[in-house]
Amino acid sequence: MASTFRIGGDLEVRRLGFGAMHLPTGPGPDRENALAVARRAVELGVTLIDTAHLYGGGANEELLAEALHPYPKDLLITTKVGVARTGPGGDWQLDGRPQILRDQVRQALRRLRTERIELLQLHRVDPETPLADQLGTLRELQTEGLVGRIGLSEVTVDELERARELVDVVSVQNRYNLLDREHEAVLDACAAAGIAFLPWRPVAWGNAGARAAIAAVAAELGTTPTQVALAWLLDRAPVVLPIPGTARIAHLEENLAAADLKLTPAQRERLDGSAEAWSEKTPGPA
């Protein structure tokens, strides 16, 4: 199992990254702890950190810059645009209008203290704005040298296929974990095309039966259920780059230790079976 992956064929990162969404951005001790967590992630070898304009309206980007700038040469901080406070009363809503995307990229460059975002992801496809306008804007920013590579988030297979007709898509960030495989087909499409797949919410627990199956494998390996769930993702396909997030250094260290965990074929088969059984017994959304 390879420990690294080249996003877009040339941007090499370690496959187990860090999602910064949960880091507190307000003043005080919580912020100091958040800065320490981000720095510890890099100390432990993380080379992929995920953030977004949505996370505090850019405050999360500013936090990462405060913690890590000037950035190590091998560190990739990827951010997302396309959700804005343009709804009624200033509510957050999907907004992929070209002017909004351009403005959020300009803000991200300033907050991250960089001249180029090496990987920019469209946070969601805005159904009210033509996809060609949304991706066309990102392609223009790429041509201008402000964006290096383009990714997507929470897309279907059809949306991915349509997007690839417009731009070179190098990453997809969808919700996915051992017990939540709604986007299995998207992952398979990414694996076939060599597109990086960044599962958000990479660790989630189902009912007691599913948890017991994961705990049993963890006990055999002398590790934790969280580490088993992350090891399963890393073993799922070489394009998978999990980005578990936490605001605690102890949890961060636990998560990253999963990179060294090896599942046997029999253990993987049991985990797959427990997840499938759980999915069959779980009713769909109302």
Number of residues that this document lists for the chain = 286
Strand partners, 14: 4
DSSP string, 210-264: HHHHHHHHHHHHTS-HHHHHHHHHHHH-TTB------S-HHHHHHHHHGGG----
CA-closest candidate to residue 211, choices 230, 234, 229: 229
Cβ contact 196:190 at 8 Å: yes
Question: Residue 121 carries which DSSP code?
Answer: E
Task: Please tell me the distance from the alpha carbon of residue 177 to that of residue 219, in angstroms, as a whole number.
Answer: 20
Quick one: which H or E segment has residue 49?
strand 48-50
> Which residues fall within 8 angstroms of residue 283, CB to CB, at 6 or more apart?
none
List 85's β-bridge partners, or say none: none
Cα–Cα–Cα angle for 153, 10, 143, rounded to 5 degrees: 65
Q: Which amino acid would we find at residue 153?
A: S
**What residues are annotated to the active site?**
55
Contact 125, 83 (CB under 8 A): no
Rounded Cα gap, residues 23 and 97, in angstroms:
28
